[in-house]
Amino acid sequence: MNLEQLTKHQIVLLMLLISFVTSIATGIVTVSLLGQTPSVTRVVNQIVERTVEKVVPSAQSAAAVTTTEKTVVVKDDDLAAQSIAKVQKSMVRITLPGSDFLVARGVIIAADGTTLTDRSALEASLGSSFEAILSSGERVAATPRSGAATSSAILILDLAVGTSTGFAPATLADSKKLVLGQSVIRIGGKGADTVGAGVVATLPGRDTPEFIAASVSSATPGSVLITIFGDIIGLATGQSMIEGSEFYSIPVVVAPATQKPETSSP
């Protein structure tokens, strides 16, 4: 067939035929390739980006900084386990001096030994002095701090930790940033540590501004409710348990009032 002898009408028909055949061939090849592609399912719960800085001395004795960004995939289960292990190092058992009987659990929130615990449990014990058993098993003196308060439900203790390395302070969560349905973990237990998982069920309201409710309950005074990242949300206290075993008191540390020095009149 001589293409030069084709009319314009025949050339148009020939081009349409070629396009049709090409489309069919492309469709067949595409379907064939899709059928050979392996299915890959990846469930990513948390993605944490970490920046690692490495200092490499240069030839002129100047420090050249090389920054490498690395993306690490962390699942919720792994993150929860890491947070529990971290908070366990900050939790203590409050007892009467020389006794192993648990009065309440507590949580250290500062390197100087500042500890939060349930006020009503310590008052009910009728003790005037207490001891705290650190996560390492070390016993230290625990003294209620005068002139300072969190809420009426939470008491501040000063632990005589000195240079002890048997603990690691916890951090407090910002209650204003909590949302309904957010994952939370409860750590408590009168003997060995016990944990439970749940979600934020009720946020602090106008009628109960000092409490937050979760779908996981606690029966041990001083048990802590934490975020999945290990920040302290609340403590189980005598006052919160009146609302229900699923309620927790929100810790808000207030610095003790400073007293003005007295001045003598001339």
Residue 199 domain flag: yes
Q: What is the pLDDT of residues 50-67, one digit of tens each?
A: 444 444 455 554 555 555
**Closest Cα to residue 126, out of 103, 146, 107?**
103
- 152 shares its domain with 181: no
Total structural domains in the chain?
Answer: 2
pLDDT band at 169, cuts 50/70/90?
very high
d(CA 245, CA 201) in angstroms, rounded, equals: 13
CATH code (residue 151): 2.40.10.10
Residue 223 domain flag: yes
Task: Name the phi and psi angles at 247, rounded to 5.
Answer: -100, 150
d(CA 66, CA 36) in angstroms, rounded, equals: 42
d(CA 22, CA 236) in angstroms, rounded, equals: 72
* CA distances (Å), origin 45, targets 77, 84, 243: 9, 18, 34
Q: What is the pLDDT of residues 181-227, one digit of tens each?
A: 999 999 999 989 999 999 999 999 888 889 999 999 999 999 999 99
Chain mean position to CA 45: 14
Q: What is the pLDDT of residues 240-254, one digit of tens each?
A: 999 999 999 998 754
pLDDT band at 165, cuts 50/70/90?
confident
Q: What is the pLDDT of residues 85-144, one digit of tens each?
A: 999 999 999 999 999 999 999 999 999 999 999 999 999 999 889 999 999 999 999 999
Q: pLDDT: is 259 or 88 the higher one?
A: 88
Range of the domain at 134: 82-159
Q: Helix/strand/coil (H, E, C) string of the chain? A: CCHHHCCHHHHHHHHHHHHHHHHHHHHHHHHHHHHHCCCCCCCCCEEEEEEEEEEEECCCCCEEEEEEEEEEEECHHHHHHHHHHHHHCCEEEEECCCCCCEEEEEEECCCCCEEEEEHHHHHHCCCCCEEEECCCCCEEEEEECCCCECCCCEEEEEECCCCCCCCCCCCECCHHHCCCCCEEEEEECCCCCEEEEEEEEECCCCCCCCEEEECCCCCCCCCEEEECCCCEEEECCHHHHHHCCCEEECCCCECCCCCCCCCCCC
Q: Give the angle subtended at the CA of 256 by the CAs of 254 and 261, to the nearest 5°.
A: 150
d(CA 232, CA 19) in angstroms, rounded, equals: 67
Among 159, 194, 210, the domain boundary falls at 159
Q: In the prediction, which pLDDT does 44 show?
A: 43
Cβ-contact 89, 206 below 8 angstroms: no
Q: Which two tokens stand for residue 238?
A: 């005598």
Residue 230 domain flag: yes
Q: Is the pTM higher than 0.75?
A: no
Residue 8 domain flag: no
- The radius of gyration computed from the CA coordinates of the chain, to the nearest angstrom, equals 32
Residue 98 domain flag: yes
Q: Which two tokens stand for residue 260?
A: 């003005």
- 181 shares its domain with 147: no
